[in-house]
Amino acid sequence: MKIENFLNFLILNMYSKNTVKTYTSVLNRYLYVFNDVKKIKHIISNYFNSPNTAWTHFNIICSYMNWSKDKRIKELKQFKLPRIPKIYRAVFNKEFLLKKTLINEFDSKSLVQKKLLMKFLFETGIRAEELKKIIEINRKTIVIIGKGNKIREIFHCFETTEKLEKFTLTTKTLRAWVKEILGSEFTPHSIRRSHATHLLTHGASPKMVMLQLGHEKIETTFRYLNLSVEDNWKIYSGYI
């Protein structure tokens, strides 16, 4: 296995440090059995009691095989994995955001920046690691280098963006800020999901939301539509 070369490929394509760390850990687990697809399947099957872990291992191995042009990927993809149980992940609406990010007269400069950053993340839906990869700011759009080193142009609210200072914070610090301002149940990715849910439930075109988030497939965007049973019932009852 050419793990080091593959990891360098991930780094060059702007994968986050945490993602590269996960890939490294998983690939090393299969280092001595990689020549035997049956053994790879056997190790993955050991994680069937934790479907998310099994799928993570499977997707990382497939990603490596695809990169290395390993033809055995066809055989591996025939492997049936357990279904991932649908779990409701906490999201919030715009009203909640505005309440939590309301700037008060006596807020410190640091606190104001934290609140503005929460608004910016909600208004754009960008990934945490993309904060440091904004290469152009216009009145209606910003241009960023996204996942896979791909450049995309997305919408933003200039009134929020122009007040923000240059991003120098780490992912760890950002997570701490999110919990401080919004609540312990939320993460930077929760804001991204909330952005998608807000747009889609207010009539935005799924295609537009897909481009805003930087997804390659519309199915991924719809998985971000994270609604509880109660939320879905309100939508349903409003049409029936």
Domain spans in the chain, listed from the N-terminal domain onward: 3-76, 94-239
The residue whose two tokens read 């933003």 is 156
pLDDT exceeds 80 at position 84: no
2-43 pLDDT per residue, tens: 899 999 999 888 787 888 999 999 999 999 999 999 999 999
- Bridge partners (DSSP) of residue 152 are 144
Confirm if 192 and 224 have CB atoms less than 8 A apart: yes
- Options 41, 57, 114, 127, the catalytic residue: 127
Mean pLDDT of the residues in the chain: 89
User: Catalytic: 223?
Assistant: no
User: Catalytic: 41?
Assistant: no
Nearest Cα to Cα of residue 123 among 29, 216, 61, 194: 194
User: Catalytic: 192?
Assistant: yes
pLDDT exceeds 80 at position 229: no
- Bridge partners (DSSP) of residue 136 are 143
pLDDT value, residue 202: 85
Confirm if 27 and 1 have CB atoms less than 8 A apart: yes
CATH class of the domain whose range is 94-239: mainly alpha
136-165 pLDDT per residue, tens: 999 999 999 988 788 999 999 999 999 998
CA distance 199 to 179: 23
- Options 114, 115, 198, 215, the catalytic residue: 215
pTM equals 0.71
pLDDT exceeds 90 at position 184: yes
- Options 41, 192, 195, 198, the catalytic residue: 192
- Options 147, 193, 195, 198, the catalytic residue: 147
By DSSP bridging, strand 151-155 and strand 141-145 are antiparallel
Q: Which has the minimum average pLDDT: 76-90, 145-159, 165-179, 221-235?
A: 221-235
- Bridge partners (DSSP) of residue 38 are none
Residue 225's pLDDT band, with cuts at 50, 70 and 90, is: confident
190-218 pLDDT per residue, tens: 999 999 999 988 888 889 999 999 998 88
3-state secondary structure of 142: strand
**pLDDT mean over 211-232:** 77
91-109 burial string, b = 16+ CB within 10 Å, else e? bbeeeebeeebeeeeeeee
The residue whose two tokens read 């401080």 is 180
Long-range CB pairs of 221-229 (<8 Å, 24+ gap) are 221/196, 224/192, 224/193, 224/196, 224/197, 224/200, 225/196, 225/197, 225/200, 225/201, 226/88, 226/89, 226/91, 226/193, 226/196, 226/197, 227/88, 227/197, 227/201, 228/88
pLDDT value, residue 235: 63
